[in-house]
Structure 1
Amino acid sequence: MLFSKNTSKLWLSVLCLFGASSGLYSCLNTRQTAKQTAAAVNKPRVLVFSKTAGWKHTSIPFANATIQKFGQEHNFLVDTTKNAAYFTDDSLRHYQAVVFNSTTGNVLTQEQQAAFERYIQAGGGYMGIHSAADTEYEWPWYNKLMGAHFSSHPLQPGERKATVEVLDKNHPATAGLPDAWPRTDEWYNYKSFYPDLKVLANLDENSYEGGTNGANHPIIWYHEFDGGRAFYTGGGHTPESYSDPLFLGHLWGGLQYAMGNGKPLDSSKAYAIAVPEENRFVKTVLINDLSVPMELAVAGDGRVFFTEFGGNLSVYNTQTKEHKLVHKFDVINKGGTGLIGVTLDPNFAKNNFIYVYYTPPKAEEPYLFHLSRFTVKADNTLDVASEKMLLQVPVQENSGSHHGGSLAWDKEGNLYLSTGDSTTPFPSLGYSPIDERPGAEYYSQDAQRGSANTNDFKGKILRIHPEPDGTYTIPEGNLFPKGTDKTRPEIYTMGHRNPYRIAVNP
């Protein structure tokens, strides 16, 4: 087929025009796709986590679908998962809020827990639905974030009608609710409430049977915690909840709060580190058949000194694997008295001073706890004649065995001693043991004479500075300046029931 010169030029022009148009379309289409991708990346994002290691609620897929619908209606992205592998720094940084959708049991490893803590510390948000309160009982940080833990719920039937009393409508989760909101759900009783919760609604226990929290039964709350935000609703057990307009509005308001105002996460504020796995430890029994071991102290050379309630002060040598009795104290064992505390002088490697808290025999009350210093001899026996008694604490036999007796040091060389109130708690039936009746038989039933008494050593943390000659001085900063009338300058803190074991940090 033959073409004229003009015809060839015409086809060449058409082809060039088509090519230019195709290139323009391709370029525009690429730009449009890039814009869509960028828009998707910049959209807010929510992670809905529904892993269960215990009871699996049938309402979980309904809650997932509801939050996905929220995302469609309010222009944010929603990822739903049961996979705890999402809990890494690189993953969580993309989310404005993480929802625990009726999770149960232990659902995260220590590494994953630490990543979630860092996410909240950086300014992230959390929302818990229903059995999010039945999750991670052995993770104290989560209990504080969540606000409380599940304790129980009514049975037969587990789901029942009750009235939610709305206390605060100045929050998006409750703004659209009536003052009294009757609804059917599975109503939890709670324990271990975190103290700073902002409670939005209580459950009226008069409106149903099976409540155990009493007149103050929080069921919806929020708070700021550790740099982030947390919201919880006790509702959402039933699938029908997610077709209830009032509950949907309530849930959306809670999610709005958890998502925050769009402020970027600040990872510089995150500080959590993973708690090591417990299975990295190997348990090795060093000594068996001890009789009420009380306290131990470890020397720099690896010797472990420890007390037994009946009066044995012993040592275990980690180098030779040998166990030896250092000294058998003659003690009186009445109402919790005996040999309790032990600690080593900070300069033990040079002076071999050891401090013990014990009650030597005495015919009648008050029995006297001695805080004494001894010297450990080279053969790991006690130089009994070296005793320097620093102070005495009088106690009674009818004491509830509240004698404390723990010893600890701070970096300034100050020695701390914890003492119990030596007051029996039983006659007061769980109430504060205050009994002002005259008579010796009531004396040990009144904590006012001890832990509330500024002129008595009982129910206190005492702080002293031992001196080389066996005396002590009073450090600056104790509760009462030396010379203050009707006080003891050794008192560091007071009002304690039975501070059994203490530590000084740092």
Structure 2
Amino acid sequence: MYILLRYIALGLASILYVGAQRSAPRVLIYSATAAYRHDSIPTAIRVLKENGASINTTFDATEDRTFFTDSNLKSYDAIVFLSNTGEVLDDYGKAALENYFNSGGNFVGIHSASDSLRNTTFFVRQLGAKFDYHPELQEATVDVIAPSHPSTNTLPQAWKVRDEMYNFESDPRSLGAVVVLSADESSYTDTRERKFDQGTPHPLAWYQEHAAGVDARSGTAGRSFYTSLGHLNETWEDSVFLGHVLGGISWALQSNTTRAFNSSGLVGNAGSSSANGGESGTTPGSSSNP
């Protein structure tokens, strides 16, 4: 019964979403890696593309850093950084991404995206915090502390998952982020000593209504959503986790700063036609594990 009710709720949300928008949002998944590479990346891309219709969204995917130009990015309503690690953009790509954010573009980060572009200030602020470390992969309890958000409103209050409980170098709340998921630290084992204050309760997923990576003097801030979960292939095949991710993406898209909802937007899909997308340029990473 719970599964049935959950899908009814998602279906109703999808109907409302279609009725409200001007054109179908278009989202770019960027999954390039320059260090450790998660073998769940192809599964994640496939699952997101297969389920894009449930939020009336077209997903394209690339790992080509040269794709990051002003002209290419301006047709997207959101950019998803998926399990990236290391320096995955050069200076030209970073400049295009910063311009995109300053033009109202929305951002979603998933899993080890918080361990990429670590020295790029606007990116770290847009995401909310840098990855520090995680204890051994194990089962843990994740607490829903913002149950009314689209990324959490279908989750159990105490959600048991097998994943990596990330720790961060700062508290995303210091940038104005609202934490929606926290780790129940009594439910798993962590033998390392923390060097940074990430705030309480332990943040695992959060959102920013006005993303902090945007130039407050001249930019238009879109939305930002980040979840640290998503390490395993099995996780991406789980409908509960997928509801969490799709809920976060659909929330970010409804910022009213891009063309899918606002005809005056500077970036986003100006029409309902979709483009072909696919994986490109995949390269293996190193053996360190974020």
TM range (shorter): 0.7 to 0.9
- For the 8 Å contact 1:220–1:232, the answer to whether it is kept is yes
C-alpha separation in 2, matches of 1:99 and 1:242 = 15
Structure 1 residue 180 corresponds to structure 2 residue 163:
no
Could you tell me the TM-score, scaled by structure 1's length? 0.43
Structure 1 stretches of 4+ moved >3 Å:
72-75, 211-215, 264-268
Structure 1 residues 264 and 90: CA distance shift in structure 2, 3 A: farther
Could you tell me the TM-score, scaled by structure 2's length? 0.73
The Cα of 1:44 is off from its aligned counterpart by 2.1
The Cα of 1:206 is off from its aligned counterpart by 0.9
Structure 2: runs of 5 or more not aligned:
1-22, 215-220, 268-290
Tell me what 2:123 maps to: 142
Tell me what 2:168 maps to: 190
C-alpha separation in 2, matches of 1:137 and 1:221 = 18
Tell me what 1:203 maps to: 183
The Cα of 1:43 is off from its aligned counterpart by 3.5
Tell me what 2:60 maps to: 79
Instruction: Give the one of 235, 239, 259 matched to 2:229.
Output: 235
C-alpha separation in 1, matches of 2:179 and 2:168 = 13
Quick check: which one's helix share is greater? 2
Structure 1 residue 125 corresponds to structure 2 residue 106:
yes
Structure 1: runs of 5 or more not aligned:
1-41, 269-506
The Cα of 1:62 is off from its aligned counterpart by 1.1
Q: Name the SS of the counterpart of 1:85 in structure 2.
A: helix
C-alpha separation in 2, matches of 1:89 and 1:265 = 17
- For the 8 Å contact 1:93–1:265, the answer to whether it is kept is no
Instruction: Give the one of 123, 138, 145 matched to 1:160.
Output: 138
The Cα of 1:214 is off from its aligned counterpart by 7.3
Cα deviation digits, residues 155-193 of structure 1 (max 9, x gap): xxx310111111111210001111111110022111133
Tell me what 2:201 maps to: 216
Instruction: Give the one of 257, 269, 274 matched to 2:251.
Output: 257
Matches within 5 A, 1:357-376: none
Q: Name the SS of the counterpart of 1:168 in structure 2.
A: coil
Quick check: which one's strand share is greater? 1
Task: With a CA cutoff of 8 Å and minimum separation of 6, indicate the structure with the bigger relative contact order.
Answer: 2
Q: Name the SS of the counterpart of 1:228 in structure 2.
A: coil
- For the 8 Å contact 1:231–1:254, the answer to whether it is kept is yes
Structure 1 residues 183 and 244: CA distance shift in structure 2, 3 A: same
The Cα of 1:215 is off from its aligned counterpart by 4.5
- For the 8 Å contact 1:51–1:107, the answer to whether it is kept is yes
Q: Name the SS of the counterpart of 1:241 in structure 2.
A: helix
C-alpha separation in 2, matches of 1:254 and 1:76 = 13
- For the 8 Å contact 1:173–1:252, the answer to whether it is kept is yes
Structure 1 residues 148 and 68: CA distance shift in structure 2, 3 A: same
Larger Rg computed on CA atoms:
1
- For the 8 Å contact 1:204–1:215, the answer to whether it is kept is no
C-alpha separation in 1, matches of 2:222 and 2:99 = 10
- Aligned letter for 2:128? G
Matches within 5 A, 1:392-403: none
- For the 8 Å contact 1:125–1:258, the answer to whether it is kept is yes
Structure 1 residue 99 corresponds to structure 2 residue 80:
yes
C-alpha separation in 2, matches of 1:214 and 1:203 = 12
Instruction: Give the one of 63, 66, 71 matched to 1:90.
Output: 71
The Cα of 1:73 is off from its aligned counterpart by 3.5
C-alpha separation in 2, matches of 1:169 and 1:265 = 32
Q: Name the SS of the counterpart of 1:138 in structure 2.
A: coil
Aligned-residue Cα RMSD (Å) equals 1.8
Structure 1 residue 244 corresponds to structure 2 residue 238:
yes
C-alpha separation in 2, matches of 1:228 and 1:104 = 24
